[in-house]
Structure 1
Amino acid sequence: MKNINTQININVKRLLLRNKRSVIFTLIFPLFFYVLYTSIFTFPMTDEMMIAWQKDYLISMLVYGVLMTSIITVGNALLVDHMNHFDLFVELSPTPKWQYVLTVVLVYIPFYILLMVLLGITALIVNQVTLTPIQWLGTIVINLLGMIPFGLIGVLVSYGGTPTVVNIVGNLLTFPLAILGGLWWPLDYMPGFLQTIGKGLVTYQIAELNRQWIHDSIIAWDMVIGVVIWTILLAALIFVLQLLLKRREAQLI
């Protein structure tokens, strides 16, 4: 545990404090879209529906912020470490490779907490939206758990090989996952076949976990099972890719 804490402290300095512009941009993006879609581009609806929409979109932007950071930022961080041969240093050290990857994913927890605080303040000031302490606690736990499958997608993206490929693939995954997962607008506005696809995505499942918690104070166990299945499948895919890469490197030698 001490070793993990040390690595996290090092990664905070390497990945967060030295990349302030990237962190600020990633914070501003969800805040901008929250204000845009809850105060400017709004649909005709009753006051009760408007309050529910403002809360739902708060959740959507929380999930979107975690999604964007986990895929694009984590993917780029791992790729840069590979290009700088930092991961080679890790392989030669007693530290397991999985522990190094885990610390890169976990290092963004302070960022996620900050994003939740800023979005909560924005929702309060702009729309007078409030959540109870229990609702906030549940939302924080759900989104921190959600960063695991999102982080695994970021690990997969890092295998792109170049910053250009990683950014292109990262964006090609982030935006469809957000749109089809119902983060930017409700799935009800989409064709039936897209709704079916969207409800199977991990983004929808994590957002729905949040929504059912803040509206009904219940845990949607079917969504939990879906997130667990996604996590297992993504972890298995990374394991297989690692084996294939090691076999390829052995053949080249």
Structure 2
Amino acid sequence: MNVFQMQCRMEIKRMLRNRYFVFWSLAMPIAFYYIFTNVVNTNAPDPAAWNAHYLMSMTTFSIMGSSIMTLGIRMVQERTQGWSTFIRVTPLPDHIYFIAQMAGQSVIHILSITVIFLAGALINDVSLSPLEWFLCGLWALLGSLPFLAIGTLIGMMKKVDTAAGISNVLYMGLAVCGGMWMPLEIMPKMMQSIGYWLPSYHYGSGAWEIAQGQMPNWKSILFLLVYSIVVMLLSKYIRRKQEAV
């Protein structure tokens, strides 16, 4: 347990120094939130509901990006710098190393959620009950598991440039097609059909429903759970194949 705690603390310190975290997880989502709620005229029939809805979109957008890009690119950097090879010759178990990275990333997610929620309250006076704030934050934290798994999958790549390019495309594609930038209902039918099968849509959907005073749909929970298991198994398989080589 002491080894795990020390590894978690180290991962948190390293992430706070990462410029990708500051940009993708904080600056960009808050900027988008301000633009799409105060600059762009969305003609929303209920501005207060739209402000709360889009705040949850940008919160899940932030956590998804941090999971895929910050974690994934950092893991590739560690591989290219020989850090992962060094870890294998230490007494630190391999699974502790990966779990600590995901746990450390989750602690950073708590910071992101808190900062973006505060931004929403200050910019647009978003008002939810204490229970709704808590449940939205909890959903954003727990629902990030499939994207953390995708981050570890990105981390299996051999080149930082390749990982950065693919993670950027994947991140933006999931955000746009998952309805995080604009409601899926106003998109073309084909985009809607694709979006309903993406983990990003179900991730955002749970937060949107909680902000409306409802509970997440069981389908969203099931989708995220299945995606998590499948991607983690795939990541584990690829890691073992690489270690065998």
Could you say which residue in structure 1 is the equivalent of 2:51? 54
Could you say which residue in structure 1 is the equivalent of 2:149? 152
Corresponding position: 1:108 with 2:122: no
The more displaced of 64-73 and 81-90 is 81-90
Could you say which residue in structure 1 is the equivalent of 2:29? 30
Query: Which runs of 5 or more residues in structure 1 are unaligned?
Result: none
Shift of 1:196: 1.4
The one-letter code of the counterpart of 2:155 is S
CA 1:217 to 1:2, structure 2 compared with 1: closer, same or farther past 3 Å? farther
Return the TM-score normalized by structure 2.
0.93
Instruction: Give the SS at the match of 1:108.
Output: helix
RMSD of aligned alpha carbons: 1.6
Shift of 1:160: 2.3
Q: Which has the higher contact order (CA 8 A, sep 6+)?
A: 2
Return the TM-score normalized by structure 1.
0.90
Corresponding position: 1:126 with 2:123: yes
Give the distance between the partners of 1:232 and 1:188, measured in 2 at CA: 28
> What is the number of equivalent residue pairs in this alignment?
244
Note the alpha carbon deviations across 1:29-85, whole angstroms, 9 max, x for none.
100000000111122232xx2222111110010011111111111011111111222
Could you say which residue in structure 1 is the equivalent of 2:222? 225
The one-letter code of the counterpart of 2:156 is Y
Give the distance between the partners of 2:84 and 2:220, measured in 1 at CA: 34
Larger CA Rg, structure 1 vs 2? 1
CA 1:246 to 1:125, structure 2 compared with 1: closer, same or farther past 3 Å? closer
Give the distance between the partners of 1:77 and 1:45, measured in 2 at CA: 39
Give the distance between the partners of 2:223 and 2:22, measured in 1 at CA: 32
Corresponding position: 1:136 with 2:141: no
Shift of 1:90: 2.0
CA 1:83 to 1:45, structure 2 compared with 1: closer, same or farther past 3 Å? closer
Note the alpha carbon deviations across 1:102-131, whole angstroms, 9 max, x for none.
211221234322222222222222211112
Give the distance between the partners of 2:93 and 2:197, measured in 1 at CA: 33
